């Protein structure tokens, strides 16, 4: 019988060069072309849209889709696979077979898992070899509870299936531990619909939305007012970058939090997330972390890799985890051969999806993929997903199609969306019965922001301001230090600049004498590279806080960072480029971030750093008699980037009173000390830190009062700088370390403690 194949061909002949080829009876079938040489009906709308778009336009759409996926990657991670705009469509009848097969297999695997960690009848009856089960690395002895957990141990399930040469579907592998690709399955459809809407105009596709909403409703009901979150390995594990992207997509699709092990702590036997409003109970976790690394307290693992006490919370029934640790034991190849006979034993029916053979990947059906403007035919397998709603298994009407390399290597190289055609008669989704919304206490702004994220944003704001202040100081210092003139004013300026450079950490203190030159400063900078260190810290914090930046914001900031890093080697452009990055970052924060949540901590970090730097520099610049203040006042105006405003108001005539009024008390100058204190007060008030807000208000008033003083300013300015550092410590203690305020023990308390 002639078997039809679609091989790699130029675009303009891709759909017209399909030739019947006499092949072995076991040759792979084709997803696009049936055995009579015609395009399968399920592909016809897609092929029509492909022809209408043309090769160049579709290639541009493909690049746009991959760019959007890259922008969605958290922590600066790279999307490691190619995302194909062409779908992998299935008919309603084909999906019905797959749906029944997944429900049957998930039911069996769920019962096996409950037995392995419960009565263990399968082991005692010889149906499963005890040595393979109990000796498996994924078997968690401490979760052998006999009594069932509050939720099924297998709550999520995924299966890789392929179409064999006979057109029937076969099971390739199970996923019962960490479920890979579910975030992609829920997000890829939305991104593809925005990139190639022409593919979707024919309609007739089963929507993912009803099933997704039923899953969200199920998770929220079981949480009973607690938090639902996706647990990711986090930025501390660079090897999990691809999984982190999937975790982030899943959290966004379900509308739940994305957290890391470091965000969690166990208190009174339950799991809590460390947030700005304190510890909040976490009721349900979708696990993106291997069960082997989950609880170092009971597993003897690395202390930083998991959450001590998590197993105890699961056993106590106060934490639901999808899937329960130890469920990955059913994925192991050693047990695969023992599963098919259990269908008749435990379910009374033969498996709907037969197990694929060892050479199945080489015989998997082939589908067209877009690559470099050409269509290539690659082996394809489908990854489909199911979840347990408490009564039975619901199967997602879609999934992801994974294209293999030309040699059918195990690793997938491309991902595409799986379509399921709507049945002839419309299918009704009733969903769960409506319920009264769970009453939740009112929280202040950013209350649910994890303290880790707030800490990263706070220090990101400080680091960007520190980088800008250093660049601005060097831009002012280098020309003056290179002049080499011996006029009294120039000598005084060089001494003041050297003092500021030492305070900023740009010059060692032993070199801060009157003989500082531009050559000496350049040599010190080239040897110590302080600007590269500051830029590296900013880049680290941008990646750590990337989950709170939109994809477009993150892309813009990272592009500006890349430009700044490349410019460091060019002496002429380095400092202006660094200032340009700081301006870009400030503009994005001002125009793209909502004025709550993470922005409050980013803003506080910026204002604290700017205020402390201004107070420290001014204290050095005005440490002179009134008659010798002019060089320091001029430098202060330049460092605060207020030269133009001062010239417009005072015709460029320097005098202590107007300079100090502009730098200390002007409420409209974003570089003044009073402005920084007022911004801090506003942020702290919105966060409910009324005592710290009052502290900032007093600082603001002291700065305003100090503007009327023209002598002996060094000590008061140093005091304001010290109090700003104290305020920073108070913010850190209140929001990030979550420790109670220190207090003095009374005599009775001391006596009681001694006893």
Domain definitions of the chain by residue range: 51-89+96-205+329-420, 449-588, 594-755
Q: What is the pLDDT of residue 304?
A: 59
What residues have CB less than 8 Å from 238, skipping those under 6 apart? none
Helix (H) / strand (E) containing 271: strand 270-275
With vertex at residue 651, the alpha carbon angle to CA 645 and CA 654, rounded to the nearest 5 degrees, is 85
C-beta contacts of 513-522 below 8 A and 24+ residues apart: 516/481, 517/481, 517/482, 517/484, 518/478, 518/479, 518/481, 518/482, 519/482, 520/481, 521/474, 521/477, 521/478, 521/481, 522/478, 522/571
Say what percent of the chain tops pLDDT 70.
Answer: 86
Q: From the centroid of its chain, how far is CA 507?
A: 37
Q: From the centroid of its chain, how far is CA 499?
A: 41
How does DSSP classify residue 511?
A: G
pLDDT tens string 104-116: 999 999 999 999 9
Total residue count of the chain as it appears in this document: 755
pLDDT tens string 84-128: 999 999 999 999 999 999 999 999 999 999 999 999 999 999 999
Q: What is the pLDDT of residue 511?
A: 73
Helix, strand, or coil here: 184?
helix
> Residue 6: is its pLDDT beyond 50?
no
Q: Cα Rg for the chain, rounded, in angstroms?
A: 32
Q: What is the pLDDT of residue 738?
A: 58
What is the DSSP secondary-structure string of 504-559? Answer: TTSS-GGG-STT--HHHHHHHHHHH-HHHHHHHHHHHHHHHTGGGS-HHHHHHHHH
Residue 697, burial from CB neighbour count under 10 angstroms (0-12, 13-18, 19+):
middle
Helix, strand, or coil here: 297?
helix
Q: From the centroid of its chain, how far is CA 379?
A: 32
Question: Which among 720, 723, 611, 713 is positioned nearest to 669, based on CA atoms?
Answer: 611
> Residue 755: is its pLDDT beyond 80?
no
- Beta-carbon count within 10 A of 528 CB: 14
| Torsional sign, CA 285, 290, 291, 292 | negative
Q: What is the pLDDT of residue 447?
A: 64
Q: What is the pLDDT of residue 349?
A: 94
Give dist(CA 611, CA 673) in Å, integer. 5
Q: What is the pLDDT of residue 623?
A: 83
| Torsional sign, CA 440, 441, 442, 445 | negative
pLDDT band at residue 428 using 50, 70 and 90 as cut-offs: very low
Pairing of strands 82-90, 412-420: parallel
Q: Is the Cβ–Cβ distance between 319 and 226 less than 8 Å? A: no
Give dist(CA 119, CA 147) in Å, integer. 9
Q: What mean pLDDT is predicted for residues 456-470?
A: 94
Phi and psi angles of residue 21, each rounded to the nearest 5 degrees, phi first: -125, 135
pLDDT tens string 477-505: 888 888 767 777 888 888 888 889 989 98
What residues have CB less than 8 Å from 132, skipping those under 6 apart? 332, 334, 335
The residue behind tokens 């194909």 is 84
pLDDT tens string 624-670: 777 678 888 899 999 999 888 888 888 878 888 899 999 999 999 99
> Residue 292: is its pLDDT beyond 80?
yes
The residue behind tokens 């106060």 is 318
Least confident of 239-243, 605-609, 659-663: 239-243
Give dist(CA 535, CA 53) in Å, integer. 44
Task: Report the first-to-last Cα separation within the chain, whole angstroms.
Answer: 94
Give dist(CA 254, CA 240) in Å, integer. 21
> From start to end of 323-439, where are the E strands?
366-371, 374-388, 393-404, 412-420
pLDDT band at residue 3 using 50, 70 and 90 as cut-offs: very low
> Residue 77: is its pLDDT beyond 60?
no
| Cis? peptide before 323, omega within 30° of 0 | yes
pTM of the predicted protein model:
0.74
Give dist(CA 686, CA 690) in Å, integer. 9
> Residue 441: is its pLDDT beyond 80?
no
User: How much is the mean pLDDT over the chain?
Assistant: 84
Q: Give me the residues paired with residue 174 across strands.
A: 159
Helix, strand, or coil here: 566?
helix
Q: What mean pLDDT is predicted for residues 223-246?
A: 76
| Torsional sign, CA 729, 731, 737, 739 | positive
With vertex at residue 612, the alpha carbon angle to CA 606 and CA 615, rounded to the nearest 5 degrees, is 135
- Beta-carbon count within 10 A of 163 CB: 23
Question: Which among 500, 447, 433, 493 is positioned nearest to 469, based on CA atoms?
Answer: 500
How does DSSP classify residue 32?
A: S
Q: What is the pLDDT of residue 750?
A: 43
- Helix 488-503 / helix 598-621 crossing angle, nearest 10 deg: 140
Q: Is the Cβ–Cβ distance between 20 and 61 less than 8 Å? A: no
Phi and psi angles of residue 2, each rounded to the nearest 5 degrees, phi first: -70, 130
Q: What is the pLDDT of residue 469?
A: 94
Give dist(CA 72, CA 715) in Å, integer. 50
Give dist(CA 87, CA 92) in Å, integer. 15
| CA within 13 Å, CB half, 668 | 2
C-beta contacts of 556-561 below 8 A and 24+ residues apart: 556/584, 556/588, 557/584, 557/585, 557/588, 558/76, 560/584, 560/585, 561/535
What residues have CB less than 8 Å from 126, skipping those under 6 apart? none
> Residue 673: is its pLDDT beyond 90?
yes
The residue behind tokens 């939090």 is 257
Q: Give me the residues paired with residue 421 across strands.
A: 205
What residues have CB less than 8 Å from 313, skipping those under 6 apart? 266, 269, 270, 271, 319
Q: What is the pLDDT of residue 295?
A: 87
- Helix 598-621 / helix 630-639 crossing angle, nearest 10 deg: 160
Helix (H) / strand (E) containing 667: none
pLDDT tens string 192-216: 988 999 988 877 889 999 999 999 9
> Residue 532: is its pLDDT beyond 90?
yes
Q: What is the pLDDT of residue 236?
A: 53
Give dist(CA 643, CA 639) in Å, integer. 9
Q: Is the Cβ–Cβ distance between 199 and 46 less than 8 Å? A: yes
Q: Is the Cβ–Cβ distance between 693 and 685 less than 8 Å? A: yes
């Amino acid at each position: 019988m002639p078997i039809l194949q679609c091989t790699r061909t130029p675009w303009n002949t891709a759909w017209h060069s399909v030739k019947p080829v006499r092949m072995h009876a076991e040759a792979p079938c084709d997803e696009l072309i049936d055995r009579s040489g015609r395009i399968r009906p399920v592909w016809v709308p897609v092929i029509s849209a492909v022809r209408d778009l043309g090769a160049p336009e579709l290639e541009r759409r493909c690049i746009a889709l991959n760019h959007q996926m890259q922008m969605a990657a958290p922590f600066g991670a790279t999307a490691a696979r190619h995302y194909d705009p062409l779908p992998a469509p299935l008919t309603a009848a084909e999906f019905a077979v797959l749906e029944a097969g997944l429900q049957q297999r998930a039911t069996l695997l769920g019962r096996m898992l409950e037995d392995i960690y419960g009565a263990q009848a399968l082991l005692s009856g010889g149906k499963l070899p005890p040595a393979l089960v109990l000796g498996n690395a994924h078997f968690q002895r401490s979760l052998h509870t006999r009594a069932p957990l509050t939720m099924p141990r297998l709550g999520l399930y995924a299966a890789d299936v392929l179409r064999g040469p006979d057109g029937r579907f076969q099971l390739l592998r199970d996923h019962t531990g960490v479920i890979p690709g579910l975030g992609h399955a829920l997000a890829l459809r939305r991104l593809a619909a925005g990139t190639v809407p022409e593919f979707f105009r024919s309609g007739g596709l089963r929507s993912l939305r009803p099933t997704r909403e039923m899953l969200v409703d199920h998770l929220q009901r079981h949480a009973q007012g607690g938090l639902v979150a996706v647990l990711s390995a986090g930025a501390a594990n660079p090897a999990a970058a691809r999984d982190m992207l999937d975790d982030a997509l899943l959290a966004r699709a379900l509308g739940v939090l994305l957290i890391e092990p470091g965000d969690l702590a166990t208190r009174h036997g339950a799991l809590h997330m460390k947030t700005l409003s304190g510890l909040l109970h976490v009721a349900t976790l979708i696990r993106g972390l291997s069960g082997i690394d989950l609880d170092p307290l009971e597993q003897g693992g690395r202390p930083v890799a998991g959450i001590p006490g998590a197993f105890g919370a699961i056993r106590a029934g106060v934490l639901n985890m999808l899937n329960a640790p130890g469920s990955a034991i059913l994925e192991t190849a050693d047990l695969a051969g023992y599963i098919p006979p259990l269908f008749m034993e435990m379910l009374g029916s033969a498996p709907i999806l037969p197990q694929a053979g060892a050479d199945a990947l080489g015989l998997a059906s082939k589908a067209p993929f877009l690559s470099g403007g050409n269509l290539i035919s690659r082996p394809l397998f489908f990854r489909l997903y199911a979840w347990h709603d408490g009564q039975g298994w619901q199967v997602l009407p879609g999934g992801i199609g994974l294209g293999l390399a030309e040699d059918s290597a195990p690793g997938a190289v491309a991902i595409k969306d799986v379509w399921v055609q709507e049945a002839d008669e419309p299918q009704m989704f009733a969903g769960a019965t409506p319920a009264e919304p769970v009453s939740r206490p009112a929280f202040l702004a950013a209350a649910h922001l994890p303290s880790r994220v707030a800490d990263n944003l706070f220090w990101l704001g400080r680091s960007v301001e520190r980088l800008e202040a250093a660049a601005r100081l060097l831009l002012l210092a280098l020309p003056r230090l290179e002049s080499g003139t011996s006029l009294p004013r120039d000598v005084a300026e060089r001494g003041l600049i050297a003092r500021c450079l030492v305070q900023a950490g740009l010059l060692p203190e032993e070199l801060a004498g009157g003989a500082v030159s531009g050559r000496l400063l350049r040599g010190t900078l080239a040897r110590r590279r302080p600007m590269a260190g500051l830029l590296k810290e900013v880049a680290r914090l941008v990646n750590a806080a990337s989950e709170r930046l939109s994809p477009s914001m993150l892309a813009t900031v990272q592009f500006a960072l890349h430009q700044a890093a490349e410019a460091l080697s060019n002496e002429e452009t380095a400092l202006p480029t660094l200032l340009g990055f700081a301006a870009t970052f400030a503009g994005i924060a001002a125009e793209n971030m909502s004025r709550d949540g993470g922005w409050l901590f980013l803003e506080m970090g910026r204002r604290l750093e700017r205020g402390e730097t201004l107070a420290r520099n001014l204290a050095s610049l005005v440490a002179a008699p009134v008659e010798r203040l002019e060089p320091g006042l001029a430098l202060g105006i330049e460092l605060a980037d207020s030269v133009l405003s001062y010239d417009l108001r005072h015709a460029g005539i320097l005098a202590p009173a107007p300079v100090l009024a502009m730098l200390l008390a002007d409420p409209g100058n974003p570089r003044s000390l009073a402005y920084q204190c007022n911004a801090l007060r506003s942020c702290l008030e919105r966060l409910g830190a009324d005592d710290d807000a009052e502290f900032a208000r007093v600082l603001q008033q002291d700065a305003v009062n100090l503007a009327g003083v023209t002598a002996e300013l060094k000590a008061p300015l140093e005091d304001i700088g010290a109090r700003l550092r104290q305020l920073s410590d108070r913010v850190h203690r209140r929001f990030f370390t979550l420790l109670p305020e220190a207090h003095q023990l009374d005599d009775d308390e001391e006596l009681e403690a001694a006893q």
